[in-house]
Chain A
Amino acid sequence: MRRARLWAIPLLAYASLVGVWELVAALNRQPGTLWPSPQTVFWTIVHDPRTFWLNGIATMKEAALGFAGGVVLAVCLAVLAQGLPPLRDSLYRLSLTLYSIPLIALAPLLVTWVGVGLWTKVIIAILASFFPVLVNTTQALRASDPRALELMSVLGASHVQTLVRVRLPQALPAVFASFRIAAPAAIIGAMLAEWVGAERGLGILLLFSMFSYKVPQIWATLIVASLLSFASYYLFEVLGRILFAWHASARRVGVA
């Protein structure tokens, strides 16, 4: 009963949203309208799945590489900062500075350095995804249970042993939680980088659709990109829940 209601409410919300959209579209019947109906958008995808598949794969590849790079970079920096306290503040400030640079401004610059190939997108995706992971990992490594640290000290454990046996495992759920933010960010970063030049990808498809005034295709691309972002978020949500059953964050909120 509770379960059914849990599903029914969002389903109803989405259904009514699509309904309103359909209604608005029905009222704007002129050719080349800005409001293609949900049906039109749906058929755009179904009639030409190849376009969305090929471009989606291209973007996801860039995003996945960037996400992986961003995670490795962020975790390494956080561990380094944890091990070398004097480095902590300067590393953090440097990361914040990097993160503050608008990616849209950085993309053209990268093109002049590494060209319009894969790596511009990967680097932008790295920059888009590494900061949330860095913030969460740094904080989680610092929030180790002081009693567990005292235990390791009594046991005569080295810094590396304490890191590997206590600090990192304890931080892992928080690190994983940040993946849910970093993964969609990597997808957005990759799409953004495609705008300054690419052969394939959802970003360039969007740009192409805009210039050729294919409004239904813009909407279709938007929906495909959103679904991919959502899926990447949910992937880490579910994985986290499975992997960290021992952690409080794994318990679902509000479900008895």
Chain B
Amino acid sequence: MIALEGVTKAFELEGRPLTALENVSFTVAEGEFLAIIGPSGCGKSTLLRLIADVIPQSAGTISVRGASPAEARRARRFGFVFQEPVLLPWRSALENVELPLQVAGVGAAERRRRARELLDLVGLTGFESALPSALSGGMARRVGIARALALEPEILLLDEPFGALDEITRQRMNTELLRVWAETRTTAVLVTHNVAEAVYLSDRVLVMGTRPGRIVADLPIEIPRPRPLELLQQEEFFRYTSRLSQHLLSTFAGTDV
């Protein structure tokens, strides 16, 4: 589905070269929910932007179903959920969800119908005409997810979508996200720095280290779905989170963070 081979990304920061990602290789299977976890500054968000063709890589190859990221982006294969919801403040919730359909040239009636369905899907029935300024943080993020799903993308890229939310809202959003994902059956790549979130949501977790950004561990999460909330208190869940935490701590070893 998605394959990265020897991907390197170098920036220039104040005149000095900086290697954000070095020799990153992995694949994401069809329909898989992959989480990428790592300390801040490890380049995990950069990785998502490379896959979505928002920025170009310095070396290596990325293929999305055999095509280049640029081709996949133009074919509108991606749904992107940003760290901030990034809603257009002059558009209502419904109109924000309509935006991708509008860009793709879908007719007005069909657009409205699809957008309504999507708002229903994320549990925002009745908030169609609300402006973003009137929505809570959690609701705004639901709109962001509905918008990302508008073009029925094959790949959902989530960049710390709930990072700024409080713990309770975050957990609710995660449950919601799993339900939506189960209904739409897309391939999903989630970037997060929250260990519990990574385990709860995904089929597989990649752990990244810093300086330069690289993959240090690849851990499958073999917990059957659907995953109830009670899972969060079970032995099995803790085994995974503690293993991931160990991996994360090991990425700090030898550095002076």
Interface residues in B56-86 (C-beta closer than 8 Å to A):
73-76, 78, 80, 82, 84, 86
Say what secondary structure dominates the interface of chain A: helix
Q: Which of A87-95, A142-150, A178-186, A191-199 contacts B (4 or more CB under 8 A)?
A: A142-150
Let me know if B100 and A155 touch, CB within 8 A: yes
Verify if B97 is at the interface (C-beta below 8 Å from A).
Answer: no
Let me know if B76 and A151 touch, CB within 8 A: no
Alpha-carbon gap, A155 to B131, bound state (A): 22
Let me know if A247 and B103 touch, CB within 8 A: no
Q: A169-B88, A246-B133 are in contact. Are A147 and B82 (CB under 8 A)?
A: yes
Verify if B102 is at the interface (C-beta below 8 Å from A).
Answer: yes
Contact partners of A165 in chain B: CB under 8 A: 88, 99, 102-103
Say what secondary structure dominates the interface of chain B: loop
Let me know if A161 and B80 touch, CB within 8 A: no
Q: A145-B86, A161-B103, A246-B133 are in contact. Are A151 and B74 (CB under 8 A)?
A: no
Q: Which of A148, A154, A166 has the most CB of B within 10 A?
A: A154
Contact partners of B123 in chain A: CB under 8 A: none
Let me know if A156 and B76 touch, CB within 8 A: yes
Verify if A68 is at the interface (C-beta below 8 Å from B).
Answer: no
Let me know if B73 and A154 touch, CB within 8 A: yes
Question: 0/1 per residue, A116-158, Cβ < 8 Å to B?
Answer: 0000000000000000000000000000010110111111110
Q: Which of B73, B90, B151 has the most CB of A within 10 A?
A: B90
Alpha-carbon gap, A89 to B88, bound state (A): 29
Let me know if A246 and B103 touch, CB within 8 A: no
Verify if B220 is at the interface (C-beta below 8 Å from A).
Answer: no
Let me know if B54 and A150 touch, CB within 8 A: yes
Interface residues on chain B, size class: 20 to 34
Alpha-carbon gap, A153 to B82, bound state (A): 13
Verify if B36 is at the interface (C-beta below 8 Å from A).
Answer: no
Nearest neighbor of B82 in chain A, beta-carbon distance: A147
Nearest neighbor of B132 in chain A, beta-carbon distance: A246
Alpha-carbon gap, A148 to B84, bound state (A): 10
Contact partners of B78 in chain A: CB under 8 A: 154
Let me know if A166 and B76 touch, CB within 8 A: no
Contact partners of B132 in chain A: CB under 8 A: 246
Let me know if B88 and A166 touch, CB within 8 A: yes
Let me know if A148 and B100 touch, CB within 8 A: no
Tell me, rounded to whole Å, the shortest Cβ–Cβ distance linking B216 to chain A. 28
Alpha-carbon gap, A67 to B73, bound state (A): 43
Q: Which of A156, A157, A170, A246 has the most CB of B within 10 A?
A: A156
| A-B CB contact pairs (8 Å), 29 listed | A147-B82, A147-B84, A147-B86, A148-B88, A150-B54, A150-B82, A150-B86, A151-B82, A151-B86, A152-B103, A153-B73, A154-B78, A155-B76, A155-B99, A155-B103, A155-B104, A156-B73, A156-B76, A156-B103, A157-B103, A165-B103, A169-B88, A169-B90, A170-B88, A244-B90, A246-B89, A246-B90, A246-B133, A247-B89
Q: Identify 18 new A-B residue pairs, CB closer than 8 A, beyond the known A151-B80, A151-B86, A169-B90.
A: A147-B82, A147-B84, A150-B86, A151-B82, A153-B54, A154-B54, A154-B73, A155-B99, A155-B100, A156-B74, A156-B75, A157-B103, A161-B103, A165-B99, A170-B88, A246-B90, A246-B132, A246-B133
B residues sitting closer than 8 Å to A (CB atoms) are 52, 54, 73-76, 78, 80, 82, 84, 86, 88-90, 99-100, 102-104, 131-133, 151
